[in-house]
């Protein structure tokens, strides 16, 4: 086993750890009577998406049209029949060091957390079984194809020679998933929020977090795992991985400080939830650009996105959609900003490709195409899937169950006993 294989295994474990971290982050933000349901959506995603990834997800996301086992349209959608069940990676003479299996496992953790991210938009009111149906269909129809457009490519001497159409034909730059993970999940979250409608009593200040320390713990775990997410996307432990690591730190702290400062100026007090959300927004924005920016520009990006996302999470009250835990305001908005930022100040191998360095908006245009294509595709597909589920098996719980709390209704258990003060205060 070589060093790059060990690096991928370690980073894959870090990324997988992000999903329980997300469960903590989301769990602290919801009502006391919805914690179990909220966290189960993340843990359910780990189980279901892992199975789908092993059976056919990898075979779709990383299919190779150059093999005789490929079925589909090269660069757009297809499946490598030899990779179903990951069977093609076992016993392959070219994979004696296990690097391809490690890569498959690493990429599978991306699919898991992307699906889990969407759940934050429908907190307090979604049926668990319906969520699992949506998660499986969404991974199959949205994540796997989009991952093949962006993550599946082959390069030679720094030039993409084969792969998904957004990278090969358009020239999109996305280091670790600003489009595939952040924009796709954020746009899909908006679609589901519209399909399911608003929570009972939805208005500003109505649904306060029930456990702020739990949210802070979750944010810390997410931050820890994000180093594996971004640095690991280089696939080897080299200078670019180190750059991605430092940039992830820089953008995270920039987002934290900017969001807290925005809250102080706009509302009089900086909140712990705001600081945690700011750190997450910074890391969301740096995800596509962590290998293409200098550390100082990464810090600037974090500062910018902390302010914009801090404002964006309030848009729902004016526009009338109930994105419960601000997946749209943080992941969609942050992902868009981070992806477009590459077109302004990005660089490859020390050579600037952005508008401010070259005077050309060519790369910015390519980034914008990626944003629009992935965002629209994910939104439309998710809206249709959510609508079909709502009209058939039902996606939203009954209003009486929502008011009583979905934990007992969906899972027959609660996070706290009814004698716990948190229950009566936040139920």
Q: Bridge partners of 351?
A: 348
CATH level 2 (architecture), domain 3-422: Orthogonal Bundle (1.10)
More confident residue, 94 or 275: 275
Give me the mean pLDDT over the 320-328 stretch: 94
Pairing type for strands 347-348 and 159-163 reads unpaired
Average pLDDT taken over every residue of the chain:
93
Flag whether pLDDT at 179 surpasses 80.
Answer: yes
CB 396 within 8 Å of CB 196: yes
Give me the mean pLDDT over the 306-332 stretch: 95
Indicate yes or no: pTM above 0.85. Answer: yes
Phi/psi for 408 (5° steps) reads: -70, -35
Give me the mean pLDDT over the 86-113 stretch: 85
Instruction: Give the model's confidence band at 158: pLDDT under 50 very low, under 70 low, under 90 confident, else very high.
Output: low
- How confident is the model over 33-52, as pLDDT tens digits? 999 999 999 999 999 999 99
CA torsion sign, 47 to 49 to 53 to 56? positive
Instruction: Give the model's confidence band at 341: pLDDT under 50 very low, under 70 low, under 90 confident, else very high.
Output: very high
Give the model's pLDDT for residue 208. Answer: 85
| pLDDT > 90 fraction of the chain, expressed in percent and rounded | 82
Give me the mean pLDDT over the 86-99 stretch: 73
CB 164 within 8 Å of CB 292: no
The greatest distance separating any two alpha carbons of the chain, rounded to the nearest whole angstrom, comes to 64
Instruction: Give the model's confidence band at 94: pLDDT under 50 very low, under 70 low, under 90 confident, else very high.
Output: low
CA torsion sign, 175 to 177 to 298 to 24? negative
Flag whether pLDDT at 209 surpasses 60.
Answer: yes
Instruction: Give the model's confidence band at 29: pLDDT under 50 very low, under 70 low, under 90 confident, else very high.
Output: very high
Give me the mean pLDDT over the 105-124 stretch: 98
Give me the mean pLDDT over the 340-369 stretch: 96
Flag whether pLDDT at 385 surpasses 80.
Answer: yes
- How confident is the model over 232-286, as pLDDT tens digits? 999 999 999 999 999 999 999 999 999 999 999 999 999 999 999 999 999 999 9
Q: State the SS3 of the chain.
A: CCHHHHHHHHHHHHHHHHHHHHHHHHHHHCCHHHHHHHHHHHHHHHHHHHHHHHHHHHHHHCCCCCCCCEEEECCCEEEEHHHHHHHHHCCCHHHCCCHHHHHHHHHHHHHHHHHHHHHHHHCCCECHHHHHHHHHHHHHHHHHHHHHHHCCEEEECCEEEEECHHHHHHCCCCCCCHHHHHHHHHHHHHHHHHHHCCCCCCCCCCCCCCCHHHHHHHHHHHHHHHHHHHHHHHCCCCHHHHHHHHHHHHHHHHHHHHHHHHHHHHHCCCCHHHHHHHHHHHHHHHCCCCCCCCHHHHHHHHHHHHHHHHHHCCHHHHHCCCCCCCHHHHHHHHHHHHHHHHHHHCEECCEECCHHHHCCCHHHHHHHHHHHHHHHHHHHHHHHHHHHHHHHCCCECCHHHHHHCHHHHHHCCCCCCCCCHHHHHHC
Q: What residue spans define the domains of the chain?
A: 3-422
d(CA 31, CA 141) in angstroms, rounded, equals 32
Flag whether pLDDT at 423 surpasses 70.
Answer: no
Tokens 């720094």 locate to: 158
| pLDDT > 70 fraction of the chain, expressed in percent and rounded | 94
Distances (CA, A) of 142 to 61, 90, 187, 410: 11, 27, 11, 27
Give the model's pLDDT for residue 425. Answer: 47
- Of 103-107, 203-207, 377-381, 406-410, the one with minimum mean pLDDT is 203-207
Reported as half-sphere exposure (CB side, CA atoms, 13 A), residue 26 has a value of: 31
- Of 199-203, 305-309, 315-319, the one with minimum mean pLDDT is 199-203
Give the model's pLDDT for residue 205. Answer: 57
């Amino acid at each position: 086993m070589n060093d790059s294989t060990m690096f991928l295994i370690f980073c894959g474990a870090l990324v997988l750890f992000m999903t329980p971290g997300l469960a903590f982050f989301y769990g602290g933000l919801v009502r006391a009577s919805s914690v179990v349901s909220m966290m189960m959506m993340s843990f359910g995603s780990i189980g279901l998406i892992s199975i789908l990834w092993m059976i056919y997800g990898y075979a779709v996301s990383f299919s190779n049209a150059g093999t005789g086992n490929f079925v589909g349209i090269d660069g757009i959608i297809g499946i490598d029949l030899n990779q179903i069940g990951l069977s093609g990676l076992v016993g392959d003479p070219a994979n004696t060091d296990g690097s391809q299996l490690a890569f498959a496992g690493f990429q599978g953790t991306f699919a898991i957390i992307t699906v889990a991210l969407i759940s934050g938009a429908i907190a307090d009111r979604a049926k668990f079984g319906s969520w699992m149906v949506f998660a499986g269909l969404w991974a199959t129809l949205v994540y796997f194809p989009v991952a093949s457009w962006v993550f599946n490519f082959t390069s030679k001497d720094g030039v993409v020679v084969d792969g998904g159409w957004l990278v090969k034909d358009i020239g999109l730059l996305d280091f670790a998933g600003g489009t595939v993970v952040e924009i796709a999940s954020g746009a899909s979250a908006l679609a589901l929020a519209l399909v399911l409608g608003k929570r009972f009593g939805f208005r500003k200040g109505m649904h306060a977090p029930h456990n702020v320390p739990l949210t802070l713990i979750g944010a810390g775990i997410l931050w820890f795992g994000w180093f594996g997410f971004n640095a690991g996307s280089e696939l080897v432990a080299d200078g670019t991985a180190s750059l991605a690591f430092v940039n992830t730190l820089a953008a995270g702290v920039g987002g934290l400080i900017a969001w807290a400062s925005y809250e102080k100026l706009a509302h009089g007090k900086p909140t712990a939830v705001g600081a945690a959300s700011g750190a997450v927004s910074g890391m969301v924005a740096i995800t596509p650009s962590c290998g293409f920016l200098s550390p100082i520009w990464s810090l600037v990006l974090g500062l910018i996105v902390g302010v914009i996302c801090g404002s964006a999470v309030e848009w729902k009250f004016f526009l009338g959609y109930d994105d419960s835990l601000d997946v749209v305001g943080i992941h969609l908005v942050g992902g868009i900003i981070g992806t477009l930022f590459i077109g302004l100040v990005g660089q490859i191998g020390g050579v600037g490709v952005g508008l401010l360095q070259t005077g050309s908006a060519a790369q910015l245009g390519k980034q914008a195409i990626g944003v629009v294509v992935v965002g629209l595709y994910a939104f439309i597909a998710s809206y249709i899937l959510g609508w079909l589920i709502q009209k058939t098996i039902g996606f939203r719980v009954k209003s009486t169950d929502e008011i009583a709390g979905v934990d007992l209704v969906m899972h027959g258990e609660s996070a706290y006993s009814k004698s716990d003060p948190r229950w009566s205060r936040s139920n």
